[in-house]
């Protein structure tokens, strides 16, 4: 029996030290490559990617970091997050739509840097143990 392919969403976020074009591009590159590595994703399997940034990041489009990570043929779009009071500052978020045979439980969402606090329930390793109950996002 053949495996059933589905489109799954993979979430991630990373914080950027300052509103600098190279910092935004480098952080996005790190986030995208980490998502692809942890989930064994080939760029050919990616249907599209949505990037968002907090309003305090406007020096570069995070999609540039996605292109640098090898997503040259993947449709990418950028948007600004809503400015929720008390929300995480200097944050790049991603929603990657991937064609995969993995179940929802097998998908590894990636939250790096200070962004690990956004979804401690999804973080693994030193950033979180998956047992935390607080969810800010």
The catalytic residue positions are 11, 67, 78, 81, 93, 111, 119
DSSP codes joined into one string, 42-88: -GGGEEEEEEEE-TT--SS-THHHHHHTT-TTS-EEEEEPP--TTPP
Cβ neighbours around 51 below 10 Å, total: 24
Task: List the beta bridge partners of residue 111.
Answer: 13
């Amino acid at each position: 029996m053949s495996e059933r392919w589905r489109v799954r969403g993979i979430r991630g976020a990373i914080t950027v030290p300052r509103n600098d074009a190279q910092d935004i591009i480098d952080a996005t590159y790190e986030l995208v490559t980490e998502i692809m590595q942890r989930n064994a994703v080939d760029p050919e399997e990616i249907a599209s990617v949505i990037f968002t940034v907090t309003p305090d990041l406007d020096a570069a489009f995070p999609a540039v970091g996605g292109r640098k990570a090898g997503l040259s043929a993947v449709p990418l779009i950028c948007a600004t997050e809503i400015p929720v009071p008390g929300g995480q500052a200097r944050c790049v978020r991603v929603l990657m739509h991937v064609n995969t045979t993995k179940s929802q439980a097998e998908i590894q969402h990636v939250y790096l840097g200070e962004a690990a606090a956004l979804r401690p329930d999804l973080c693994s390793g030193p950033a979180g143990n998956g047992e935390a109950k607080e969810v800010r996002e």
